[in-house]
Every structure is written in structure tokens, then in C-alpha cells.
């Protein structure tokens, strides 16, 4: 179950907090609706419960706060806003990627697809899904780790009635298996139909905490739905008879041959139609909206208990209804028109109660004229105080603290298998394959052009690296792949549904560095191999042969490409942008290399030419198997301007990444 205690958001400058001391419970095995108009604080309350927003309060999920749960994704399934995911990824591939992040078998993806009715769309791209399919996919994403609790923000928003019924049927099935379901909505009829318990918010406060049956009886206006080919005539007769009987009735034309009658009954309308020979195609009681007449007893049902106008006020006071006695409101013009026209007012005329304060309209409800009576400002049911919901204590008169404990946003633990997740993320879209193909094509053309022109050293021919370019195509491609590793993560945050933003965790960073390094190495080897074969094919084996110092050159080439990939990963993780990651890669030879050369050439700095030998002199002991030779070679690479610039850039970016990671955890 879910227990929320004193949820309060931080004040917004001079405005009151969006959520103020909200406390409620959502029990296991039941569907709970968080109802409220736009701006009532529903989304803010959910974000406070999930520790995605700073504020005050405490939320328990089966007795534990979210930051104390080892694997929160397995406890709480979340759907906030649209489904995050790359539009080119398939439905099945997206769910399998989430399975890898949650540490569950990939077969779970097919199970949830079947449970939400998307098994026929498993190969569709996310960008081609309709709104209804997108919301069902969001429910599938929340169900992937098989959580006990579902927290959904307006899951049926903008859906067709059929899609909404399917979605709520899936929520009902989850609750029937013992799970807890909490969803927010702005439609009171949806809450009454789909939920077992309804918590109503107004201006950030709980104004009602009721069962669905009690909510429908006290907070919604009952109405009668009528469909007749003579709807206009029937509406006029119903209003005329209500005026004669001094009853308050509201008749609303809903378009075509449909009527909505508030304040009457099916029996009264049926008798009126029978007496006048009007054909009726539909006559049924329906749940209306939260209009001004919410909570009032219809005038037709009070008629038997009333004898006169004075008795009606006494009956309303005795029954506890907050609405005043209905008084027929007519101006002089209307009275004159009624006197001249014995058949009653024009079709669609409405008899209204005495004017009073109006409630704010609820989005999704049908706008219409005022109802038969206006409820009092106080809710029909007093909400439970936050003190009665204090965790670990019974409902007593003990005093509690004035302010609930603060909510600090904490990062969730690392995914169980980040490397497996990263592999599925990279292989799920065609961007990496297209980037690699473009790099190989550009490298091949550049190599042939350089060989045709001449005056280019053989190592640069094999790498397709003209002197005029700061970096070869393979290094730029590796940097782009590295930047996409975190750039796509922030643009399409598949892991951010229950964590607010893309988590900067060391496990995820290590996985991205390993995968980007492997992709860079593969790209570097393929580039050199393809260029060598093209040179052999067009110009003979002289230009395609291996250089004399191929080992050192190969190590430097691989280090350059991997360094560019890592620069892209770290820069995109720090600046949350693919463009920033690629710009950091280009900035290494354009800005950092000249700066390093200027520093090394300064009068106060010793030359870097003998740096490896000086380090070798410091290492007095001999390494086993001649390991000191490899150390010297690595230091020789670092001592070069490009190597020093790359090392300096990687160190700075890694420090910035770690600093931002520590800052997010404080």
C-alpha cells in the first residue's frame, strides 16, 4: 500500500505551495484515483511521493520510503508524461532494453506486450504509435520489472473511450492480483467508473477522501440521458411540467437528438413522453459531472418529502445537504413570455436555483448551465488529519511536529546490468550503423584523393588524415558515437521515468565508456583495413604495406580514436547534449593542442622530449616481463602535443562529471 504523510511542495516566490499538507492512503488490491482540476497539484503530489521534487513530507511504499528500497523499479512502476524513448526504436526493442536495465529476463518484454494488447505491434517504431498505443506502451514500461505498485499520471489522457476502457481494465487486473494502483485524473466520471477510492484535491489540499460509491453519491450530479427524435419538444414539455410542479430541472441539449436532464428521474421523463406520445430511444440514469449541483438531492426525489416551500428548507437542513431550498428564478421578460405562450418556454430553457458561488469547472467535464442547487464550500466528508496518518503510531491525540520531514531528491541504485542495457541501447537504433558506414565511405574517398595528389606520408594515408583537418573521419565518428551515448539518454530518457533525470552513476558511465571504446576500436580497425585494401587495389602493394614502426603508430592511432570517443561520452554527460559532446571532441586539436604546445614551449617549463626517459629513471625497479617498456611508450604518447591535450581534456571532463555526480547526491 501507499501512505502519504504531509506532502508539501516548496513555496513558489510569492505564490502558495502547489501542494500543502496532502495525506492519504492507497491500499493494496484497490485502484485509487487522485482527482483534481488542472493546477490542483496532482502531478506535484506524485513527484513528491516519488522523490523527484524537493519539498516536505514522507511517502511509504509497503512500509518503506522509496530511497530505502534496494531496487525501486521493482517496487514502483511509474508513468509520468509521455513515454520516453527513441522514436526509431521498436516497441519490443525498447522493452527489452528496459528489461536489461531492471535485471529481468528479456522474455518479460513479450509477456507485458501481451498483457497490454500490443503483441501485434512489437516491431513498430515508437515514433509511429498513436496516442492510445503510446499510453498502453507506457503502462507496459511500468509493468516490465513486475512492480507491486503502479503510479500513473493521467494515463487515459486524450485517449478514445475504447482505449481508456482497455487501459483501466489492465489497471483493474493488476489490482486484482494484489497490487496497488494510484492514478491521477481530471475527469470525475473516469474516477467514479474506474477507481475503488477517490481522493479529491483542490488548490493543493485534500477536500474529500471517499470510496467511489460515496464519491458518486455526494460529489457528482446524477442525470438522466435521453435520446429521442423529438428531443426539442420533449425538452420543452419537461421544463414546462417542472415549472408547474415548482421543481428545479436543468435540460441541456448535447447535440443531435440527445438530452441531459439534471434534477429529474427516468420515471418522470418517461411518463411525460408517454402522455404526449413522444417516441424515446434511450432513457437511462447516468453519472454526471462535478457541477454546482453536486451533492444535492434532485428536486423530483425530494417532492414526496416536501409539502410546501417552507418545508423544503427544513427538509434540506435535516438531511444534511448543504444546498439551499430551490427557488424558481424568472425575470420579468421570461414571465411575460410564459404568460403569452401556454405551451411553456422555448426548447432548451433551463430553470435554475438561486445564484450562488460557482465551483471551478473540471477539465474533461461537459460545460453547461448552472445546476439545480449550489453546494456549500465545505466538503461533504471531512478529510483525515495528517496526524492520524503518522507512520508507526495509532490514531491518537498525540501532537506531531508542525512540519513534516523534508524530501530530498536521491538517486536510485545502479541498474543491475548496465553493460547489457547499454549494448541493447546502442544496437536498438540504426544511428551507430549509419555513422560507421559514413565514416568508412568518407575515409575511403579521402584516402584515394590523398594518394592521387601525393606528398602524404603512408601513416596518414592509411588513417585518411589530411594535414589540413584537425582530426581524421574515424576519430570524428568515434566522438559522435560517444556523444550519442549520453546525448540520446538525455534527449530520450528511458531510465528517467522514476528518477527524474538521467542518472549519472558510475556503473552506467563505466558501461558507456566500455561500449564506446569497443565501437571506436572496431571503427579504427575497419577504417585502416578498408583504406589499405583500396590502396592495394588502385595503387599496388607499395602504398598498402605496413610502416616500419607500425606498433607505436597503431597504438597511437587506437588511443586517439578511443580518446575522442571518451571525450564525447564525458562531455555529453556533463553538458547533457550531443552537440556539446561533439564540440568537445573538435576542441581538443583546435584549442587544447595549441595551448599545450605553448605551455611546453614556455621558458619556465622543461622540454617534454626527455619526459619518458626521466620517468624511467625514477622507476628504479625493473618491471616483470619488461613492463617498463610499455610504460615508457605510453608516456611517450602522452608527452606528444595531441596525447597531452587528449589526456588533459579527459581528466578535466572526468573531474567535472564526478563533481556533478557528487553534487546530485548531496
Q: What is the pLDDT of residues 340-354, one digit of tens each?
A: 333 444 333 343 332
459 burial class (0-12, 13-18, 19+ CB within 10 angstroms)? middle
Number of domains in the chain: 3
DSSP characters for 471-503? S-HHHHHHHHHHHHHHHHHHHS-TT-TTTSS--
Render the burial of 68-86: b for 16+ CB within 10 Å, e for the rest.
ebeebbbbbbbbbeebbbb
The CATH number of residue 322's host domain is 3.30.70.980
The confidence band for 541, taking pLDDT boundaries of 50, 70 and 90, is confident
Least confident of 15-24, 75-84, 202-211, 292-301: 292-301
Pairwise pLDDT comparison (393 vs 41), residue with the higher score:
41
Look at residue 581 and tell me whether its pLDDT is greater than 80: yes
The confidence band for 291, taking pLDDT boundaries of 50, 70 and 90, is low
The confidence band for 327, taking pLDDT boundaries of 50, 70 and 90, is very low
Cα four-point dihedral sign 54, 60, 61, 67: positive
The pLDDT assigned to 591 comes to 84
- Domain assignment of residue 353, yes or no: no
The pLDDT assigned to 355 comes to 32
User: Closest by alpha carbon to 377, among 352, 359, 355?
Assistant: 359
The pLDDT assigned to 292 comes to 53
Strands (E), 377-422: 406-407
Residues 204 and 227 in one domain: no
Residues 458 and 590 in one domain: yes
Compute the distance between CA of residue 405 and CA of residue 448 in angstroms, rounded to an integer.
68
- Domain assignment of residue 194, yes or no: yes
- Domain assignment of residue 404, yes or no: no
- Domain assignment of residue 407, yes or no: no
Residues 146 and 272 in one domain: no
- Domain assignment of residue 163, yes or no: yes
The confidence band for 200, taking pLDDT boundaries of 50, 70 and 90, is very high
The confidence band for 332, taking pLDDT boundaries of 50, 70 and 90, is very low
The confidence band for 469, taking pLDDT boundaries of 50, 70 and 90, is confident
Give per-residue pLDDT as tens, 606-629. Answer: 555 555 555 555 554 555 555 555
Least confident of 250-254, 400-404, 648-652: 400-404
Look at residue 523 and tell me whether its pLDDT is greater than 60: yes
Residues 199 and 237 in one domain: no
Read off the pLDDT of each residue in 489-496 and give the average, rounded to a whole number.
79
The confidence band for 514, taking pLDDT boundaries of 50, 70 and 90, is very high
Backbone angles phi, psi at 99, to 5 degrees: -60, -40
The pLDDT assigned to 454 comes to 81
- Out of 289-293, 373-377, 391-395, 483-487, give the one with best mean pLDDT: 483-487
Residues 179 and 264 in one domain: no
The pLDDT assigned to 361 comes to 37
Residues 500 and 589 in one domain: yes
Compute the distance between CA of residue 78 and CA of residue 140 in angstroms, rounded to an integer.
10
Residues 207 and 229 in one domain: no
The pLDDT assigned to 368 comes to 40
Look at residue 197 and tell me whether its pLDDT is greater than 70: yes
- Domain assignment of residue 380, yes or no: no
Look at residue 19 and tell me whether its pLDDT is greater than 70: yes
Look at residue 66 and tell me whether its pLDDT is greater than 60: yes
Compute the distance between CA of residue 556 and CA of residue 343 in angstroms, rounded to an integer.
98
Pairwise pLDDT comparison (438 vs 220), residue with the higher score:
438
Spatial neighbors of 131 by CB under 8 A, at least 6 apart, are 158, 159
The pLDDT assigned to 543 comes to 80
What is the Rg, in whole angstroms, of the alpha carbon atoms belonging to the chain? 35
User: Element (H or E) spanning 448, and its range?
Assistant: helix 431-453
Spatial neighbors of 388 by CB under 8 A, at least 6 apart, are 395
Look at residue 99 and tell me whether its pLDDT is greater than 80: yes
- Domain assignment of residue 349, yes or no: no
Residues 86 and 127 in one domain: yes
The confidence band for 290, taking pLDDT boundaries of 50, 70 and 90, is low
Out of 218, 239, 271, a domain closes at 218
Residues 518 and 620 in one domain: yes
Compute the distance between CA of residue 153 and CA of residue 34 in angstroms, rounded to an integer.
9
Mean pLDDT computed over every residue of the chain: 76
- Out of 76-80, 214-218, 263-267, 518-522, give the one with best mean pLDDT: 518-522
Give per-residue pLDDT as tens, 125-181. Answer: 998 988 888 888 888 998 998 899 999 999 888 788 888 888 898 899 999 999 999
Look at residue 476 and tell me whether its pLDDT is greater than 60: yes
The CATH number of residue 202's host domain is 3.40.50.300
Look at residue 510 and tell me whether its pLDDT is greater than 80: yes
CB 57 within 8 A of CB 48: yes
Residues 574 and 543 in one domain: yes
Residues 320 and 425 in one domain: no
Read off the pLDDT of each residue in 96-119 and give the average, rounded to a whole number.
88
- Structural domain span for residue 638: 418-665
User: How distant, in Å, are the alpha carbons of 208, 564, 592 from that of 473?
Assistant: 64, 11, 19
User: Closest by alpha carbon to 280, among 299, 262, 267, 263?
Assistant: 267
Out of 323, 340, 357, a domain closes at 340
The pLDDT assigned to 125 comes to 92
- Domain assignment of residue 400, yes or no: no
Backbone angles phi, psi at 208, to 5 degrees: -160, 140
The pLDDT assigned to 161 comes to 84
Residues 214 and 266 in one domain: no
User: How distant, in Å, are the alpha carbons of 9, 389, 563 from that of 55?
Assistant: 4, 18, 41
Out of 340, 373, 394, a domain closes at 340
Amino acid at each position: 500500500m501507499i501512505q502519504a504523510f504531509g506532502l508539501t511542495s516548496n513555496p513558489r516566490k510569492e505564490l502558495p505551495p502547489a501542494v500543502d499538507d496532502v495525506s492519504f492512503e492507497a491500499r493494496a488490491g484497490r485502484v485509487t484515483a487522485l482527482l483534481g482540476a488542472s493546477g490542483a497539484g496532482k502531478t506535484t503530489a506524485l513527484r513528491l511521493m516519488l522523490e523527484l521534487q524537493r519539498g516536505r513530507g514522507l511517502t511509504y511504499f509497503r512500509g518503506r520510503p522509496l530511497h530505502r528500497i534496494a531496487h525501486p523499479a521493482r517496487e514502483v512502476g511509474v508513468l509520468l508524461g509521455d513515454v520516453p524513448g527513441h522514436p526509431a526504436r521498436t516497441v519490443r526493442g525498447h522493452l527489452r532494453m528496459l528489461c536489461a536495465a531492471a535485471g529481468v529476463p528479456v522474455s518479460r518484454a513479450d509477456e507485458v506486450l501481451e498483457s497490454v494488447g500490443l503483441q501485434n505491434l512489437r516491431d513498430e517504431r515508437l515514433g509511429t504509435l498513436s496516442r492510445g498505443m503510446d499510453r498502453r506502451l507506457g503502462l507496459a514500461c511500468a509493468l516490465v520489472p513486475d512492480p507491486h505498485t503502479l503510479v500513473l499520471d493521467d494515463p487515459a489522457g486524450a485517449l478514445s473511450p475504447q482505449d481508456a476502457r482497455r487501459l483501466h481494465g489492465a489497471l483493474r487486473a493488476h489490482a486484482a492480483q494484489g497490487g496497488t494502483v494510484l492514478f491521477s485524473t481530471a475527469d470525475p466520471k473516469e474516477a467514479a467508473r474506474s477507481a475503488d477510492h477517490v481522493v479529491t484535491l483542490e488548490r493543493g489540499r485534500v477536500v474529500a477522501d471517499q470510496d467511489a460509491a460515496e464519491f458518486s453519491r455526494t460529489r457528482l450530479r446524477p442525470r438522466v440521458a435521453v435520446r429521442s427524435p423529438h428531443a426539442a419538444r420533449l425538452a420543452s414539455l419537461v421544463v414546462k411540467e417542472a415549472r408547474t410542479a415548482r421543481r428545479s430541472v436543468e435540460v441541456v441539449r448535447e447535440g443531435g437528438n440527445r438530452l441531459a436532464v439534471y434534477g429529474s428521474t427516468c420515471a418522470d421523463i418517461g411518463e411525460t413522453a408517454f402522455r404526449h406520445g413522444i417516441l424515446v430511444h434511450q432513457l437511462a440514469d447516468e453519472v454526471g459531472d462535478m457541477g454546482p449541483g453536486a451533492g444535492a438531492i434532485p428536486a423530483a426525489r425530494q417532492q414526496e418529502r416536501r409539502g410546501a416551500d417552507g418545508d423544503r428548507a427544513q427538509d434540506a437542513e435535516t438531511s444534511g445537504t448543504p444546498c439551499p431550498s430551490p427557488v424558481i428564478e424568472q425575470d420579468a421578460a421570461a414571465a411575460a413570455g410564459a404568460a403569452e405562450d401556454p405551451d411553456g418556454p422555448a426548447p432548451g430553457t433551463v430553470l435554475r436555483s438561486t445564484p450562488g458561488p460557482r465551483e471551478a469547472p473540471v477539465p474533461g467535464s461537459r460545460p453547461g448551465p448552472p445546476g439545480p442547487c449550489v453546494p456549500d464550500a465545505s466538503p461533504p466528508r471531512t478529510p483525515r488529519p495528517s496526524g492520524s496518518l503518522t507512520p508507526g503510531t495509532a490514531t491518537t491525540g498525540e501532537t506531531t511536529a508542525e512540519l513534516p520531514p523534508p524530501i530530498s531528491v536521491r538517486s536510485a541504485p545502479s541498474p543491475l546490468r548496465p553493460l547489457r542495457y547499454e549494448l541493447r541501447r546502442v544496437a536498438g537504433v540504426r544511428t551507430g550503423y549509419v555513422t560507421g558506414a559514413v565514416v568508412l565511405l568518407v575515409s575511403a574517398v579521402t584516402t584515394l584523393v590523398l594518394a592521387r595528389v601525393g606528398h602524404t606520408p603512408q601513416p596518414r594515408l592509411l588513417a585518411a588524415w589530411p594535414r589540413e583537418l584537425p582530426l581524421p573521419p574515424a576519430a570524428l565518428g568515434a566522438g559522435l558515437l560517444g556523444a550519442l551515448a549520453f546525448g540520446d539518454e538525455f534527449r530520450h530518457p528511458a531510465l528517467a521515468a522514476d528518477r527524474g533525470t538521467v542518472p549519472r552513476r558510475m556503473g552506467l558511465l563505466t558501461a558507456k565508456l566500455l561500449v564506446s571504446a569497443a565501437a571506436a576500436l572496431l571503427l579504427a580497425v575497419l577504417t585502416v583495413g578498408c583504406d589499405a585494401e583500396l590502396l592495394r587495389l588502385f595503387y599496388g602493394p607499395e602504398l598498402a604495406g605496413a610502416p616500419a614502426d607500425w606498433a607505436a603508430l597503431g597504438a597511437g592511432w587506437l588511443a586517439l580514436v578511443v580518446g575522442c570517443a571518451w571525450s564525447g561520452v564525458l562531455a555529453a554527460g556533463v553538458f547533457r547534449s550531443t552537440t556539446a559532446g561533439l564540440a568537445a571532441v573538435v576542441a581538443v586539436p583546435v584549442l587544447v593542442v595549441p595551448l599545450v604546445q605553448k605551455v611546453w614551449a614556455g621558458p619556465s617549463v622543461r622540454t617534454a622530449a626527455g619526459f619518458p626517459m626521466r620517468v624511467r629513471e625514477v622507476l628504479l625497479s625493473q618491471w616483470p616481463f619488461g613492463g617498463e617498456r610499455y610504460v615508457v611508450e605510453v608516456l611517450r604518447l602522452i608527452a606528444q602535443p595531441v596525447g597531452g591535450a587528449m589526456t588533459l581534456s579527459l581528466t578535466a571532463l572526468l573531474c567535472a562529471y564526478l563533481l556533478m555526480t557528487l553534487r546530485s547526491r548531496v
